[in-house]
Structure 1
Amino acid sequence: MPSILHAISTPNGEQLSFQPTIELPPSPPHSPPKHHFVHPGLLSLPTTQQRVNPTMWLPAWHAVHDAMTTWKEHDHDIIHIDDASTPAFITNILDPWFQYNSLPRQQKVNENEWNEFVEFNEKYADLIVNRYRSHHDIIWVHDYHLILLPSMLRRKLPQATIGFTIYACCPNLDKLEGYGRALQRSMSAADLIGVQSELDMPVLSAASATAAATPITTTSTATTLLTPTVHLKTPSFAAQERSRDIRRLFKGKRIVLCQDTEPAGVLKTVAAMEHYLSTHNKENTIFIHICTRASIPRPLDSIPDLVRQINQLYGTPESVPIHFYHQDMDTDEYDALLLAADAALIMGMHPHASIAAQTYIARQQQSLSNTTPSLIVSHGSPLQGQHITADQSSPSALAAALESALDSDKQQPQQQHAVSKQQKPKFLETLSKKRQQQQKLTAKLNPTQVGEACRNARRRLFLFDYDGTLSPIVANPDDAKPTRALLRYLQALCNDPRNVVWIVSGRDQATLDSWISSTVHGIGLSAEHGSFMKLPGESSWVDMLAQADMSWKSRALAIFESYTARTPGTVVEQKKSSITWHYRNAHDADLALKQCEACFEELQKIPGGGVDIMRGKMNLEVRSLLVNKGNVVQRIQQSVGADFVLCAGDDRTDEDMFRALEDEPAYCVLIGPQDKETDAKYCAETSEQFVSCVGQLANVSSTHSAL
């Protein structure tokens, strides 16, 4: 049964601010995993009384929660490291950039901090590799703390389906001197990227262009991912009592809870409140304006003085209209404000704004009120449901939205809000569909990605078919000789001591000796689909079928010869382990196809079994079941133990190799169209394209050999 692996990373305790408790779902079973979620450590929370920062960490947790409660037919395995301290690269560089959209002062990265960050991600990669079962699994990496994980996993698990989501604003990574490109390349190694809104699309499009064309999904229409249902426990008795105290304190007044998540918006909200007070009944409205330091860490020195002036203008000795707080809050205090408010004005495009808005709606639905929550959010907010949107840059428009919220919505009976609906996370659903589509449509090989994986590997194994892979298919097989460039590439690969290179072909021994080993030294050869093998550096061949019963060959040969006589232009090719009937050059192509079907039916009647009958590219082949390319590459990998494998082929015999390497760290490449059925994860449309990729890998090896 497939798995979802979730990778999750938890912040340090000092990063937590006003923290509503969340209700944890039951622990996942310890059966073989199905979907793997990766987020740094939320499952280190041992009880439902533990708290999580809603402004930074609830989005990832809610996504995991929704997945676990709606994808019940899957196993869920949450990958976390309990005792992992947050690397300095995250706190000094990534947090300010992603969370606050603020370019850090320390733009030039300290190399030690970067290395610590790499090691932090590698720990997660090792855990996931150990728990990963098969290509049916899905890996979901949550948030930018683990931004290096997609590329690490792609190197170790080339055929894995990997999703990566960012629950924050996406900065321009090009501005990060030295390491920005590495972050972009890593994101592009994922099969699917989830972002907060369409505003983040240009940034991630640039990231994709850095490496491969990676599909990017936006949650502007999929709110169950980055603006998921909030899973809050019932507010505490203390919070409910405190909310009643607030209502008594401001008896007879309408309470508006205002919250800004971006520094530039604070002054605009204050201006809107002043405009509202100047044009409406100022004695009936109280604004409680909060800016948490988790959202806005910068000082807001000018705001308190401005609020004081407005209060002097519109307040009375008994009451002031605006209460401004730039601080973090206790959970109960925050819950009390959410419960007591008649309306909420929550501004900003930061993910914090969506979370705060949904938390307000959830708390209002848990209150005793039977009226619809009145909520105002910024234009362009990804939040869905019944709420008012307003342009924060226009004080008059914002004031009009406040008037509408206070004067009408509170008189309406409470309606079911979109936030209360629980759906399957759209991101996971899209990723799951993509995995199914990938099984039908093979991804194009990305030479940059393969080159990076090769560069970082300790031990490499190259397994190449010949015809149709290293050389194009031609009408006359004798014309498929290797080019000088190909021979040069193969020799460069063999010269690197970290590499082991094999040609695994259907060709006979004499041809491979003449075309390959006479020029390229140190290469391994497998002839006739594994019937004969010559180890790298050896001069003699080993007959793998010396003791095998090959009595079936005489019957197969007789059948092929009879069809050759009846089909002009066709020929029979005999090898140690197989016999092949070629009809590529048949005089009558239609007749040849009909004869091929008839011949196939007759071959199936060969007594004794022990043979495999295969339709190839304009040929029909009968071969021994005792050897095939899959057995060959399996034996080679067992002896080499490579952590990077590149295996390429173009026809059905090569599918045996792809299946044999299914659970290995292998880039299996089909040479052919994307829509051709294959067990390979990647494809290159032509042999020329693939040989070009081999040339790039040869340059990687040449650089290493020269050091």
Structure 2
Amino acid sequence: MSRVVIVSNRLPVTVERVEDGVRVVPSVGGLATGLRRPHEQGGGPWVGWPGDLGGLEPEQVARVEARLSDLRLVPVHLTQEEVQRYYQDYSNGLLWPVFHSFLGEVPLEMGGAAEYERVNARFADAVAATARPGDVIWIHDYQLLRLPALLRERLPDARIGFFLHIPFPSSDVFRVLPNREALLEGMLGADLIGFHTASYMRHFSSSVLRVLGAWTDVDRIRWRGREVRIGVFPMGVDAADFAGTAHTAEVEEEFRGLRQDGTHLLVGIDRLDYTKGIPRRLLAYERLLREHPELRGKVRLVQVAVPSRTEVGAYQQFREQVDGLVGRIHGAFATPTWSPIHYLSRGLSRPQVVALYRAADVMLVTPIRDGMNLVAKEFVAVRGDGDGVLVLSEFTGAAAELAEAVQVNPYDAEGTAAAILRALEMPEDERRTRMAGLRRRVTRYDVHWWARTFLDRLRAPAAATPPHGLEVSARPAVEGARARLRAAPHATLLLDYDGTLVPFAPTPELARPDRELRDLLRELARHPGYSVHLVTGRQRDTVDRWFGDLGIGLHAEHGYWSKLPGTAWQLAASVSTAWREPARAILEEFAARTPGSLVEEKSAGFAWHYRTADPDFGAAQAHDLMLHLSTVLSNAPVEILPGALVVEVRPQGVDKGKVVARAAAASPEGSLLAAFGDDRTDEDMFAALPPGAISIHVGPAPSRATLRLAGVPESRAFLRGLL
């Protein structure tokens, strides 16, 4: 296999001065950890800056160089002026705030562009000198945006990948950069460009279109005779390593100390950076204590703020702001026996961090902008106990994946305070349901999956480029339908669930029936004039658990299973299962490369949900998924159906239309049938209704139904009006 050459601004080591000289030790952090295995297994060098060696004696520098060589690390030495201009002024002073959409932090004088170009060229020379034919070169992050194109000039046939670890801003924001064309052209020197989220990828594509006028598609860009692939690769954490650390002796000792006072523990761990939202988090906490005095003495916030870029004036001012807010909260609420906040302005050891993750009742990850935020995933990885609540900013890249978190707008202090209160009062079963969903994704799509997936895509040859109703019913019509049902000697109600009786939730397990709905269905079932049948794509066990005690007919997985009141579940049809494994493999592949999507496996078939995926990217992936499934399963006895942000694969002959006849047969002769639904699968039910029946579509999608209601509240109101 080809070697992997990794390139980043910093090498994954730190040079430390000790009594007997110097030593080279591994660095900690997401990038260093995430790329350690590809470096170890890939066999190639890692190129980067080793840090400032200016204060070392010549023989110490030689020892460092020898150690770096042993570790297959290739240093690019920078002068103090280059560090200041390329790294501090341009990369951190200009690119960082622009890419995070903080235009108020952009300096009046945008200097350092020449040094940025020069240092990127130095990196290109270093990589070209060490690379071999057939190597795969993987470049990382915003400090090296120009490097792919500069390297392409030196190595025209090289396979080059680039990954951006921070957000890519909207095209309107990106265009404030004076050398915007050069930065985009630099990135387009790569064969594959990766982003954490579909939103960042879409912003990049839009900027390329608007700034360079290049042809763009969902996942590729044509530029100067080349096709550059772009993709979404959400970075994970080493979940197994964090889980293994969680119960070491060091962590246990720290953990016991944290849980001694019996208060509910809120935890925030951040770099001291204006993107992390610490002041707004503190304002939300202050509001919580002010509006809910019953929490005083019962809750405590541990806020860790690791100093960062202390030499930059803006960061010094930011620290003063945070210090002032911490003091204000202490002054307003502290008592001789209780401190509302424990503020640490320093780094912690890994055991201390992991102990905080374990001890936290609520983890607060509320940046106002963040490319991914691995702290959220580290917290989830540590929580093998299945408990704890993650409060997560919707402006993090992680929010695209971690749908079960309590997501907040960090600019809304009132809303954030309410979310913290909700997290503190959340029932245990909901906490565990949410954490189980979070852990499934974090443990499966870890940092090793991220690196492996990107490199596999980079090594793979580029795929061939593909070739290029009814309005809401007026009130009289609705009232007329309801009057017909009430006047009929008997009526049979066929009710879809998701999108018809309950609103959609980020993940299927969160769309549980509330007490109001259960009471409504129970009352309808007890009414002598109605028979009620729930017709849903949900799994049999879920349907039985939620509705089995209501005395209604249950039809799960689009009618594959049916159960009339007082009877056992009956299998509607015997179907072939030979197609399931290839279908599962395809669906899992699409779930892996579409953040926010998931595969639901049923006894009859599968559902690929993309409700929490980026809307545009999810829709494009759904289209591609259906084409792929149609090709692979062309000879299989299955149907592939689009739904409301879902693609379903089910056996032929299994559909909701078959339920109509079963429900009618179980009802008194001449019963008036009425069907309610919201998506494509319900159209089978509408089509199977006899003449004179009532069909009601809920929501805006096209439908053959004769009536349309605006949404779930209107659907429930209609049913309530039948009583």
Please indicate the TM-score interval, normalised by the length of the shorter structure: 0.3 to 0.5
Q: Which has the higher contact order (CA 8 A, sep 6+)?
A: 1
Max radius of gyration: which structure? 1
